[in-house]
Structure 1
Amino acid sequence: MLRRGLRIGLLGGSFNPAHDGHRHLSLNALRMLGLDQVWWLVSPQNPLKPASGMASLDDRRAHAEKVARHPRIRVSDIETRLGTTYTADTLTRLTQRFPHHRFVWLMGADNLDQLPRWKHWEQLMGTVPVAVFDREPYSLTVLGQRAASRFRRFFWQQADGRALAEAAPPAWGYFRMKRHPLSATTIRSLGATPWPVSDAPTMED
């Protein structure tokens, strides 16, 4: 049972596979945002990614557990239990289910760049605070793109990051950290996936 009033960072994605870059971002989020926990939300199927080449949910979650290796990083398949596919819907359900906790959505700068492609992305920004973390090569351009421009007046400075979890959304900040070279795309391109990959879809878009 979770104690009341936790500050929780939510890192969503396919985790196909989870890798040390996810852990690196999570540890920085714990420190920079003053979080109690980070939850990795392993998605049944990202609507913006093809199902072909996606490992099973069980394999992705089990591998994420091995990679996380930290008492304050928790791996969850709660989207499956909530029956949600889109992040905006997941965040709405989580805030309803855990009204005493403070959630912050965590994402890399690459996801801020493509955020307007997400379903109900403006609803997402209005549901919980958002922390965007530096990621090459997006750091030089992403703050001028559509999502950042649309919510520019709700921008928080990095120095105020530890208060972001308590902010009334919309509220978001951009956080610079030492960059990590790994990405799931790179790992897959090297043929280094740690599980047998099935072409069978896990969920329809």
Structure 2
Amino acid sequence: MKKLNIGLLGGTFDPPHFGHLYISTKAIKTIGLDCIWWVVAKQNPLKEQSNSMTSRVNFAKNISKFSSKIRIIDIEKTVKKSYSYNTVVLLKQKFPHINFIWIMGSDNLISLHKWYRWKEFCRAVPIAIFERGKLYKEIKYPFVSCFSSFYVRQPKLLLSCTPSWSIIRMKVNPMSSSMIRLLTY
């Protein structure tokens, strides 16, 4: 039986927007994924959320209707603390027949070393990093120096090895949840 290749786009999705949809469709095409699961965080330990998890899940479901290859999961509602490491471990235990790949914007490299058990997280799942803005600044952060030997040039290679990471260059979509909150609240 062929394993499914599923991208995990984790985040608070506060609010979800078409930038999330853009990066998801780009990941499916570039990496060769079967689909993307949006993992709506219960509570990002490094941010405050404006909306409840239920409303963020509902907003995400509305945006995801534009692609049949995006599924919204709220697995984090069952955990005490919302940590990406715990979520990945739980998903890998629950779905051993799936190859998971973490999808994130390059802006996350700035704080990745502050994530709970970040080194274990980076060893547990391949990571596809999508360019968001001036990437050269993010290259200086601890993740890159710690995991430089696991870099793969071709994103499709993420499907075959862990740990691994790749940077996917693309036309930058300036949309962000932070920007939307500033404009609407």
Identify the TM-score tier after normalising by the shorter chain.
over 0.9
Could you tell me how far 1:8 is from its partner in structure 2? Answer: 0.3
Partner of 1:112: 109
TM norm structure 1: 0.86
Q: 2 CA distance for matches of 1:63 and 1:171?
A: 32
Q: Secondary structure at the match of 1:29?
A: helix
Could you tell me how far 1:131 is from its partner in structure 2? Answer: 0.6
* Structure 2: segments with no counterpart, 5+ residues: none
Find out whether 1:88 has 2:56 as its counterpart.
no
Partner of 2:158: 164
Partner of 1:10: 8
113 and 16 in structure 1: CA distance in 2 versus 1, 3 angstrom threshold: same
- Contact 2:43/2:81, CA 8 A, preserved across alignment: no
Aligned length: 184
TM norm structure 2: 0.94
Partner of 2:179: 186
Could you tell me how far 1:144 is from its partner in structure 2? Answer: 2.4
92 and 84 in structure 1: CA distance in 2 versus 1, 3 angstrom threshold: farther
Q: Runs (4+) of structure 1 moved beyond 6 Å? A: none
1:131-142 matches, cutoff 5 A: 131-137=128-134, 139-142=135-138
Q: Secondary structure at the match of 1:151?
A: helix
Q: Secondary structure at the match of 2:125?
A: coil
1:20-169 matches, cutoff 5 A: 20-51=18-49, 54-68=50-64, 69-83=66-80, 85-137=82-134, 139-157=135-153, 160-167=154-161, 169=162
- Contact 1:84/1:90, CA 8 A, preserved across alignment: no
* Structure 1: segments with no counterpart, 5+ residues: 193-205
After TM superposition, the structure 1 stretch with the greater mean CA deviation from structure 2, 76-85 or 97-106, is 76-85
- Contact 1:82/1:93, CA 8 A, preserved across alignment: no
Q: 2 CA distance for matches of 1:38 and 1:83?
A: 24
Q: Secondary structure at the match of 1:90?
A: helix
CA root-mean-square deviation: 1.5
